[in-house]
Amino acid sequence: MTTTQPAHVRRVALSERLDVSALGLGCMGMAEFYGPSDEQESVATIERAVEHGVDFIDTAYMYGGGRSEEIVGKALARIGRERVTLATKCGLERTDTGVRIDGTPDRIRAAVDESLRRLGTDHVDLLYLHRVDPEVPVEESIGAMAELAAAGKARLLGISEAGEDSLRRAHATHPMAALQSEFSLSTREPQRTLLPVCRELGIGFVAWGPLSRGLLTGKLTAAEFGRDDIRSVLPRFAPDALTRNLQLVERLVEFARARDLTLAQLALAWVIAQGAVPIPGAMDRGQLDENRAAADVVLDPQTLAELDELAPEGAFAGDRFHAPMLSTVDQ
Per-residue pLDDT tens over the stretch 172-190:
999 999 999 999 999 999 9
Does residue 1 register a pLDDT over 60? no
Residue 41 in any domain: the answer is yes
Can you give the pLDDT at residue 3?
53
∠ CA 146-205-79, nearest 5°, is 75
Q: Which residues are catalytic?
A: 63
Overall domain count for the chain: 1
Residue 318 in any domain: the answer is no
Residue 6 in any domain: the answer is no
Residue 83 in any domain: the answer is yes
Range of the domain at 43: 11-211+275-297
CA distance linking residue 202 with residue 149, whole number of Å? 19
Query: Model's pTM, two decimal places?
Result: 0.95
CA distance linking residue 324 with residue 321, whole number of Å? 8
The greatest distance separating any two alpha carbons of the chain, rounded to the nearest whole angstrom, comes to 54
Indicate left, alpha or beta for 9 from its phi (over 0: left) and psi (-120 to 50: alpha).
beta
Residue 5 in any domain: the answer is no
Q: Give the amino acid at 302.
A: Q
CA distance linking residue 203 with residue 17, whole number of Å? 11
Per-residue pLDDT tens over the stretch 214-248:
999 999 987 778 888 999 999 999 999 999 999 99
Please report, for the domain that includes residue 282, its CATH number.
Answer: 3.20.20.100
Does residue 331 register a pLDDT over 90? no
Residue 87 in any domain: the answer is yes
Does residue 122 register a pLDDT over 80? yes
- What is the sign, positive or negative, of the torsion defined by CA atoms of 323, 203, 108, 26? positive
Does residue 170 register a pLDDT over 90? yes
Residue 284 in any domain: the answer is yes
Mean pLDDT of the chain: 95
Residue 291 in any domain: the answer is yes
If you ran DSSP here, which 8-state letter would residue 293 be given? G
